[in-house]
């Protein structure tokens, strides 16, 4: 928050009905944004966990094995594991990068922990927001 955006306590008993309705609308809107963010974080956390589990399954014995390569969430094409030391990562919006498996394992672990901490920080805020909304 910038210096101009300081938090202010509001005495709800001094607000008229229109101001209360406006405040409730603002709280509902902010709570919706926080809940959407929490949901997105949980989806990302699940995807990172899946990626980590898939990286764990790759070993030197996997070289040359047939696999199904996902093009979309519901379309797969046949493929073959050519190099067990490198993988292609989807970094979003149709871009892929080639990375070493060892480095990915560490970066995925870091991302997984960071997303988990972020989600844990948002959960109480969303719960508190619901209680505040009911009080309002």
Instruction: Return the CA Rg of the chain.
Output: 23
Q: Give the 3-state secondary structure of residue 5.
A: coil
**For the chain, how far is it from start to end, CA to CA, in angstroms?**
24
Determine, yes or no, domain membership for 110.
Answer: yes
In CATH, what number is assigned to the domain containing residue 110? Answer: 1.10.287.370
Give the integer Cα–Cα distance in Å for 88 and 86.
Answer: 7
Check: CB of residue 133 under 8 Å from CB of residue 27. Answer: yes
Q: Which domain holds residue 130?
A: 14-135
Determine, yes or no, domain membership for 6.
Answer: no
- 132 pLDDT tier (thresholds 50, 70, 90): low
| Tens-place pLDDT, residues 86-110 | 888 777 777 887 888 776 666 666 6
Determine, yes or no, domain membership for 39.
Answer: yes
Determine, yes or no, domain membership for 119.
Answer: yes
Domains of the chain: total: 1
Check: CB of residue 52 under 8 Å from CB of residue 43. Answer: no
pTM assigned to the model: 0.59
Give the integer Cα–Cα distance in Å for 69 and 76.
Answer: 5
Residues pairing with 79 in the sheet: 67
Check: CB of residue 122 under 8 Å from CB of residue 41. Answer: yes
| Tens-place pLDDT, residues 6-38 | 777 878 888 889 988 898 898 889 888 888 888
């Amino acid at each position: 928050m910038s210096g101009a955006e300081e938090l202010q306590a509001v005495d709800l008993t001094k607000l008229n009905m229109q101001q209360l309705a406006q405040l409730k609308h603002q709280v509902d809107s902010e709570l919706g944004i926080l809940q959407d963010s929490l949901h997105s974080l949980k989806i990302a956390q699940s995807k990172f966990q899946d990626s980590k589990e898939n990286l764990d399954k790759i070993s030197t014995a996997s070289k040359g094995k047939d696999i199904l390569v996902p093009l979309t969430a519901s379309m797969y094409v046949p493929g073959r594991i050519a190099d067990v030391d490198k993988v292609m990562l989807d970094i979003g919006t149709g871009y892929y990068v080639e990375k070493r498996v060892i480095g990915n394992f560490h970066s995925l672990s870091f991302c997984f922990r960071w997303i988990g901490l972020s989600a844990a920080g948002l959960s109480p805020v969303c719960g508190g927001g619901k209680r505040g909304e009911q009080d309002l």
